[in-house]
Structure 1
């Protein structure tokens, strides 16, 4: 079994596929690799039958940057011209959205969205008028 963590952008909106063995989500993810000043894109198929991923499918849209953790496998297929290609696939254990932020804001942050809708959020600012922490008042 090959466990992997992979970051990439979703190539087209996620599909929910229903069959007699249940439902699952499927999406294609573009993974960019930069070596010696050149960029190479590898396409990876991501699948999951987890209920929480199925619920998140409406947010798994084209262009979103995600991190996928799961089991990697590969297969070989032939196109209509007889050329052989390798298809990489990941059966996802977790899917996380990567938030790149906007120019001029704080550092990039990743929040876990493996189906628990409890995304980590930045701590809210206290209301105005409340005393603020003052490190100068500490006795040590």
Structure 2
């Protein structure tokens, strides 16, 4: 089963784009997720690339900013693409299906939550056709 839950802070503001063929919203963002360290050791983090599609992509783009702590639920995906020079690139990322606020933007408490609605039954655009999505991220 491919299921992922991450809690972390956005490294930078989310980037919203639209696919060139069907104008489907896609948002890319990176989460800094704390690693477990022994007491007294310096904090460390993993930087996890994530994407979201459709309504969740627009919600993330509209309501989140650098430094905001969130929880996402989704799945790991590996994909590849060829750049303009014909060089193949690979990326492993988390495709978010749900998002929850993990802190309040102004107060820093854990009271505020938003659950994005997974598009159950709706496949991401790359699973529905063979068209080029032009997603070099």
Q: TM tier, shorter chain? A: 0.5 to 0.7
CA 1:55–1:111: 2 relative to 1, 3 Å: closer
Structure 1: where are the runs of 5+ without partners? Answer: 77-85, 116-140
Contact 2:16–2:57 (Cα < 8 Å) also in 1: no
Structure 2: where are the runs of 5+ without partners? Answer: 81-89, 118-137
Q: Distance in 2 between matches of 1:55 and 1:68?
A: 13
Match of 1:94 in 2: 98
Give structure 1 regions of 4+ aligned residues with deviation exceeding 6 angstroms.
none
Structure with more strand by fraction: 1
Contact 2:26–2:52 (Cα < 8 Å) also in 1: yes
Deviates more, 1:14-23 or 1:47-56: 47-56
Q: Distance in 1 between matches of 2:79 and 2:44?
A: 20
Deviates more, 1:30-39 or 1:89-98: 30-39
Following TM superposition, by how much is the alpha carbon of 1:87 offset from its aligned partner in structure 2, in angstroms?
5.5
CA 1:49–1:67: 2 relative to 1, 3 Å: same
Q: CA RMSD in A?
A: 2.9
Q: Distance in 1 between matches of 2:36 and 2:60?
A: 30
Q: Secondary structure at the match of 1:109?
A: coil
Match of 1:10 in 2: 10
Q: Secondary structure at the match of 2:35?
A: strand
Q: Distance in 1 between matches of 2:76 and 2:65?
A: 22
Q: Distance in 2 between matches of 1:87 and 1:42?
A: 15
Q: Distance in 2 between matches of 1:113 and 1:23?
A: 18
Contact 1:12–1:63 (Cα < 8 Å) also in 2: yes
Question: TM-score, normalising length from structure 2?
Answer: 0.62
Contact 1:10–1:28 (Cα < 8 Å) also in 2: yes
Contact 2:103–2:111 (Cα < 8 Å) also in 1: yes
Larger radius of gyration: 1
